[in-house]
Copies of this chain bind each other. A is one copy, B any other.
Amino acid sequence: MPKPAIKTAKPSSRRSPCPVSCALDIFGDRWTLLVIRDLILGRNRFKDFLASPEGIPTNILTDRLKRLLERSIVTQVSSSESSKHLAYQLTEKGHALLPIVKAMKDWGLTWEKGTRAGLMTAT
């Protein structure tokens, strides 16, 4: 019986070799970096991401987690709550996104009135 194919990250749909462009090919949307933010803050289950204040739709969350798994930015582990439930955690590649999220946080706090980082502490 053949082994199931392991999905690997593919640079298939790159618009250019520019690293900024390639990064945006992966997370250039309104939602992906919010999932990364949540993971940085210690939220790690599907229902945690759904509970974040931005209200990510279920189908978009499913799609973004699938892409992040395919790109080896997150990995699946057993939830600490129950071995039956899966949780997500950042890989080394995923943790390396922290400076991007941090820079966005700093920019937002400085330039967008009324933003508050207090909501970003782990719950």
A interface list, Cβ under 8 A from B: 11, 15-26, 28-31, 33-34, 37, 52-55, 93, 96-97, 99-117, 119-120
Max count, chain B CB within 10 A of own CB: residue among A20, A96, A113: A20
Nearest Cβ in chain B — how far from A118, in angstroms? Answer: 9
Contacts A15-B53, A107-B97 given; does A30 touch B20 at CB 8 Å: no
Question: Which 10 A-B residue pairings sit nearest by Cβ, starting from the closest?
Answer: A19-B108, A28-B30, A19-B115, A15-B54, A16-B53, A99-B103, A23-B104, A100-B103, A23-B108, A22-B112
Chain B residues with Cβ below 8 Å from A19 are 104-109, 112, 115-117, 120
Residues of B within 8 A of A102 (CB): 103
**Complex contact A114–B20 (CB within 8 A):** no
Shortest CB distance A70–B (Å): 13
CA distance A99 to B100 in the complex (A): 8
- Is the CB–CB distance between B104 and A20 below 8 Å? yes
Q: In the complex where A28-B28, A108-B23 touch, is A18 in contact with B115 (Cβ < 8 A)?
A: yes
Residues of B with C-beta under 8 A to A97 = 107
Q: Is the CB of A54 within 8 A of B21?
A: yes
